[in-house]
Chain A
Amino acid sequence: MATGLVLRGVAGPCRGTQVRAFANRSALGRRGVMRSLVVTGLITVALAGCASVGTPTAPVPAPASAKPVVLNLMRDSTRSSAAGQYPQAALAIEQALRIEPRNPWLWHELAKVRSQQQRYHQAVQLAAKSNALSRDARLQAANWLLISAAYKRVGNHAKARMAKERAERIDN
């Protein structure tokens, strides 16, 4: 019940970011402390929610998904990646993709994991798939940057440069 209420409560112009912040918290606080976390979560969200969206230099904001389960899987994935557990990170994203197969953010996340695993060819392909599904200029730019970096790592500097230019063209 609490989840539903809170989600509706924060619905607004920066809903995506807020939902994400909430999901992060709710996932940290399973059981028992849930209620209090919901409250503090709300406050933090209200303060922090919109700030990052308008800043162009900020890392790609992730409205990502309207489904808490997908957001939490993304968070699991990020955490696994940070711990160097890339197979687990990929599993979490693949599970999220079974729920939302056409969510371009998830394809982007999987591309990131593959880059970290130094599977650059797949990283490029997955980022391309993300782009094929995305209308979001910011995400497209992030994908081109990822593609550029991957090409650089395999020594294909011409393609790396082209991808970088595509990213810059979108950003402007």
Chain B
Amino acid sequence: MSVISRLGIVLAVIGLAYIVYLDITIRNRFEGQRWPIPAHVYTRPLELYQGLRLSRQRFIEELQELGYRRVEHARQQGSYAMEHDVIRVVARPFVFWDGTRPELPFAVQFRGGKVARLTHDGEPVDLVRLEPRLFGSVSSMDHEDRTLVRLDQVPQKLIHALLTVEDRDFYRHVGIDPRGLARALWANLSAGRVVQGGSTLTQQLVKNFYLTAERTLVRKLNEMIMAVLLEIHYEKTEILEAYLNEVYLGQAGGRAIHGFGLGSLFYFGRPLTELDLPEIALLVSLVRGPSFYNPHRHPERSRERRDLVLDKMAELGFIDRRTRQRATTAPLGVSSDAVQSALAYPAYLGFVRQQLRQDYREQDLRSEGLRIFTTLDPDVQQAAEAALRRRVTAIERARKLAAGTLEAAAVVVRSDSGEVAAMVGARRSRFAGFNRALEARRPVGSLIKPAVYLAALQQPHRYTLATLLEDAPLRVKQAGSPVWAPQNYDRRFHGQVLLIEALAQSYNVSTASLGMAVGVDNVIAVIRQLGISRRLQAFPSLLLGAVELTPIEVAQMYLTFASGGFRTPLRSIRSVLSQDQQPLARYPLSVEQVIEPGPMALLNHGLQEVVRSGTAQVLRGRFPDGIRVSGKTGTTDDYRDSWFAGYAGGYLTVVWLGRDDNEPVGLSGASGAMLVWADIMRRLDLHSEEFPLPLDVELVAVDQGTGRLADTHCEDVIELPFIVGSAPTERAPCASPQSNDAGGGKLRSWLKRLFRN
């Protein structure tokens, strides 16, 4: 054999080995899971039932947010129609955590801001669940995001459009297409620029899937060999399906939008199956360059390209000329809301991720395609965002603070379930970044005081709401530190005050005395019971809030008050489903009674007094009758932090205002955070059911000045709850001395009857 032929054999062997290597490469990645699929995160679903408080307007907004289209007659899923006072909807099928709900046509009527009637096929139904909205994902390192579609879920028109402009001979070629290449070359030469690519879909898939973006001859050669190999091993339909899911279609911040499934949601806010022809053409036109043809940034260019796709479809006979004509007059139809919602609620998403990390590996969250159903209520979330944005700007102006320096955070929780309905981590709530609701640890000031009072009220033989406290100069000596001499905010001492008054007026000095008498360690024990697990140092200054907590921690603590003494873990997740729709985890409701009903009822009465007559009395009368409002203001040294934590009608909301650099903002809890709090709460659907007084608690009328038993002769009477056996027995000076069983006793039993009924 000649040298040349030997060399030939060697080269052939090397070449063959190389092809075998490429073959293994393509098969390895094409088998099994092809892409890491990020966990997708959904809002709560809207559940409709007769009697639900929901305005017609708000319901239509919800439909629009879900991408439902208003039509003349609702027949197709994802559409609704308005007929007189009836709204007819065809809900999309959806896989929920407790089963699949098929496509569901239903009709709903509203009356007086409530759902009056709900029917399906003319028959009344109890409950209709709309599908929840996808609002975020936990993506991988390269931030690729996609939702997989099967080929049979892709409209035929989309395949036609795609093959028309990208690869006409897809079903005939073997992975590479010399004729297509020649055609592209000719088109480009005659146009003087690149107007057509010569790569087949298979080559494009190979390029995106296996190869780097560099443009070298070797890479091109690899691409062609691999394309042919791919075609040898796999069916055209498999290759096409992979392509449809692989293709890059746009960018949302750091998140890369891949595949037509997510592309459709991202640009139109609707699933792929619901797109019409011009929308399909637009999506296909993006394949050539999502940023160059970005319909939001370059609408003209985008429209031209879309119309070109339509023209070519008509040329090849996929659509007739009239259809083409109609389609080219359609608007682009891209929804900026859809893009917005893809970036919405970064703070809440951060909280979901934090909770997920307790149970899942980061790796699985990024790749296993989990579906996460959260408790986020978009309605509440939007109320919180809007209130915060408007009010913070208004406060800044009114107080002549430098614009943009005042920051904010808010958390809204359902009091009895611990479900977090909304979270805002910054006044510019749509920008991901420092999530103050979770991460800003700030001194809480007077927000800590209820723990001091609760520690006292847990000893009913020593303390009641009517116990007189000394609000007089106090000096606490501590080994190794300067003498601690707390001051009241108004720099005055108030003498003898009722315990409930000291709480309602948030007096520092009397609270500190009380705390020292109860013991700092006991107060810390109560704070732990309430749900704060952070280690706290037993300094006396803790009694007045020299404790740094995050807004979410404050929410956990106050939730225990709002839920009647039951510690309830804050939850953002209801359920997790695997990619193949199997339930993986449920996060059931769980409660733990940590505070006895008696002391809890007393403290809650005190926190209502804060609103009735104390530091939050501005709130009085701002809520409907029958809605009992409880809360506490918090202000820190030099007015650096403004807090309000309060609850009413089934919701607990915590608001913090302050600066990131911790400079003073000149706001007390009442002049800052409380105003935002009220704006949020006034927009929620509050209900009036309350905890009844526990059986071992009675109401007794006492004289406000002395805390002793009052009767009808007394002027400043306050009726207070007492744990049975702990009410004062001495009569107040104003009460008539002779009538032992009449007077106070009578009033007491009268009040008692009044309350029990």
Interface contact B597-A101, CB-CB below 8 Å:
no
For the complex formed, measure the closest distance between the CB of B390 and the CB atoms of chain A, giving whole angstroms.
Answer: 29
Interface contact B692-A102, CB-CB below 8 Å:
no
Interface size range on A against B? 35 or more
Among B51, B98, B590, contact of A91 (Cβ-Cβ < 8 Å): B98
Among B50, B126, B591, B592, contact of A27 (Cβ-Cβ < 8 Å): B126
Interface contact B586-A125, CB-CB below 8 Å:
no
Among B123, B417, B566, B586, contact of A132 (Cβ-Cβ < 8 Å): B566
- What's the Cα separation between A120 and B590 when bound, in Å? 12
A window 95-147: CB within 8 A of B: 95, 97-103, 110, 122, 125-126, 128-129, 132-135
For the complex formed, measure the closest distance between the CB of B538 and the CB atoms of chain A, giving whole angstroms.
Answer: 30
Residue A18 at the chain B interface, CB threshold 8 Å: no
Residue A88 at the chain B interface, CB threshold 8 Å: yes
Residue A156 at the chain B interface, CB threshold 8 Å: no
Interface contact B124-A2, CB-CB below 8 Å:
yes
If over half of A's interface residues share one DSSP class (helix, strand or loop), that class is named, otherwise mixed; here it is helix
For the complex formed, measure the closest distance between the CB of B573 and the CB atoms of chain A, giving whole angstroms.
Answer: 13
Among B47, B591, B692, contact of A129 (Cβ-Cβ < 8 Å): B591
| CB neighbours of A30 from chain B (8 A) | 123, 125
For the complex formed, measure the closest distance between the CB of A74 and the CB atoms of chain B, giving whole angstroms.
Answer: 11
Interface contact A98-B47, CB-CB below 8 Å:
yes
Stretch with Cβ within 8 A of B (4 or more), from A41-49, A50-58, A65-73 = A65-73
Interface contact B50-A125, CB-CB below 8 Å:
no
Residue B589 at the chain A interface, CB threshold 8 Å: yes
Residue B49 at the chain A interface, CB threshold 8 Å: yes
| CB neighbours of B117 from chain A (8 A) | 1, 4
- What's the Cα separation between A88 and B415 when bound, in Å? 23
Stretch with Cβ within 8 A of A (4 or more), from B35-43, B494-502, B630-638, B683-691 = B683-691
- What's the Cα separation between A125 and B125 when bound, in Å? 33
Residue B113 at the chain A interface, CB threshold 8 Å: no
Residue A90 at the chain B interface, CB threshold 8 Å: yes
| CB neighbours of B694 from chain A (8 A) | 132
For the complex formed, measure the closest distance between the CB of A117 and the CB atoms of chain B, giving whole angstroms.
Answer: 10
Q: Which residue of chain A is the closest to B127 with respect to CB atoms?
A: A69
Interface contact B691-A132, CB-CB below 8 Å:
yes
| CB neighbours of A90 from chain B (8 A) | 588
| CB neighbours of A87 from chain B (8 A) | 586
Q: Which residue of chain A is the closest to B575 with respect to CB atoms?
A: A91
Interface contact B593-A101, CB-CB below 8 Å:
no
Among A1, A88, A97, contact of B416 (Cβ-Cβ < 8 Å): A97
- What's the Cα separation between A100 and B414 when bound, in Å? 12
- What's the Cα separation between A68 and B650 when bound, in Å? 21
Residue B121 at the chain A interface, CB threshold 8 Å: yes
| CB neighbours of B690 from chain A (8 A) | 102
A101-B47 CB under 8 A given contacts A87-B586, A126-B591: no
Interface contact B566-A125, CB-CB below 8 Å:
yes
Interface contact B126-A102, CB-CB below 8 Å:
no
Residue B564 at the chain A interface, CB threshold 8 Å: yes
For the complex formed, measure the closest distance between the CB of A132 and the CB atoms of chain B, giving whole angstroms.
Answer: 5
Residue B565 at the chain A interface, CB threshold 8 Å: yes
Interface contact B126-A31, CB-CB below 8 Å:
no
Contact string, A1-18, partner B, CB cutoff 8 A, digits 1/0?
Answer: 111100000000000000
Q: Which residue of chain B is the closest to A66 with respect to CB atoms?
A: B51
Among B123, B126, B414, B590, contact of A72 (Cβ-Cβ < 8 Å): B126
Interface contact B590-A101, CB-CB below 8 Å:
no
Q: Which residue of chain B is the closest to A124 with respect to CB atoms?
A: B593
| CB neighbours of A27 from chain B (8 A) | 126
- What's the Cα separation between A72 and B126 when bound, in Å? 8
B window 230-274: CB within 8 A of A: none
For the complex formed, measure the closest distance between the CB of B580 and the CB atoms of chain A, giving whole angstroms.
Answer: 19
For the complex formed, measure the closest distance between the CB of A39 and the CB atoms of chain B, giving whole angstroms.
Answer: 15
For the complex formed, measure the closest distance between the CB of A40 and the CB atoms of chain B, giving whole angstroms.
Answer: 17
Contact string, B67-111, partner A, CB cutoff 8 A, digits 1/0?
Answer: 000000000000000000000000000000010000000000000
B window 141-156: CB within 8 A of A: none
| CB neighbours of B123 from chain A (8 A) | 30-31, 34
Interface contact A132-B126, CB-CB below 8 Å:
no
- What's the Cα separation between A27 and B127 when bound, in Å? 12
A128-B692 CB under 8 A given contacts A101-B414, A101-B650: no
| CB neighbours of B416 from chain A (8 A) | 97, 101-102
Q: Which residue of chain A is the closest to B98 with respect to CB atoms?
A: A91
Interface contact A102-B687, CB-CB below 8 Å:
yes
Interface contact A101-B692, CB-CB below 8 Å:
no
Interface contact B127-A88, CB-CB below 8 Å:
no
Q: Which residue of chain A is the closest to B588 with respect to CB atoms?
A: A90
- What's the Cα separation between A91 and B415 when bound, in Å? 19
- What's the Cα separation between A30 and B368 when bound, in Å? 39
| CB neighbours of A101 from chain B (8 A) | 414-417, 650, 689
For the complex formed, measure the closest distance between the CB of B754 and the CB atoms of chain A, giving whole angstroms.
Answer: 14
Interface contact B692-A133, CB-CB below 8 Å:
yes
For the complex formed, measure the closest distance between the CB of B594 and the CB atoms of chain A, giving whole angstroms.
Answer: 10
| CB neighbours of A102 from chain B (8 A) | 416, 650, 687, 689-691
For the complex formed, measure the closest distance between the CB of A157 and the CB atoms of chain B, giving whole angstroms.
Answer: 21
A88-B692 CB under 8 A given contacts A69-B126, A132-B566: no
For the complex formed, measure the closest distance between the CB of A112 and the CB atoms of chain B, giving whole angstroms.
Answer: 14
- What's the Cα separation between A129 and B568 when bound, in Å? 11
Contact string, B558-576, partner A, CB cutoff 8 A, digits 1/0?
Answer: 0000001110000000000
Among B124, B591, B687, B689, contact of A3 (Cβ-Cβ < 8 Å): B124
Q: Which residue of chain A is the closest to B593 with respect to CB atoms?
A: A128
| CB neighbours of B589 from chain A (8 A) | 94, 97, 110
| CB neighbours of B592 from chain A (8 A) | 125
Interface contact B126-A94, CB-CB below 8 Å:
no
Among B50, B98, B417, contact of A68 (Cβ-Cβ < 8 Å): B50
B window 120-173: CB within 8 A of A: 121, 123-127
- What's the Cα separation between A130 and B126 when bound, in Å? 25
For the complex formed, measure the closest distance between the CB of B85 and the CB atoms of chain A, giving whole angstroms.
Answer: 14
- What's the Cα separation between A110 and B590 when bound, in Å? 10
Can you name 19 A-B pairs with beta carbons within 8 Å?
Answer: A4-B117, A67-B50, A68-B50, A72-B127, A88-B98, A90-B588, A94-B588, A97-B416, A98-B417, A99-B49, A99-B52, A102-B650, A122-B590, A125-B566, A125-B593, A128-B566, A132-B565, A132-B593, A133-B692
Q: List the 10 closest pairs (A to B, CB-CB), nearest first.
A: A102-B689, A101-B416, A69-B49, A69-B126, A128-B593, A135-B692, A132-B564, A3-B124, A72-B126, A125-B591
Residues of B within 8 A of A (CB): 47, 49-52, 98, 117, 121, 123-127, 414-417, 564-566, 586, 588-593, 597, 650, 687, 689-692, 694
Residues of A within 8 A of B (CB): 1-4, 26-27, 30-31, 34, 67-69, 72-73, 87-88, 90-91, 94-95, 97-103, 110, 122, 125-126, 128-129, 132-135
Knowing that A132-B565, A132-B566 touch, tell me 13 more A-B residue pairs with CB under 8 angstroms. A2-B124, A4-B117, A34-B124, A68-B126, A72-B127, A97-B417, A125-B566, A125-B592, A129-B566, A129-B591, A132-B593, A133-B689, A133-B692
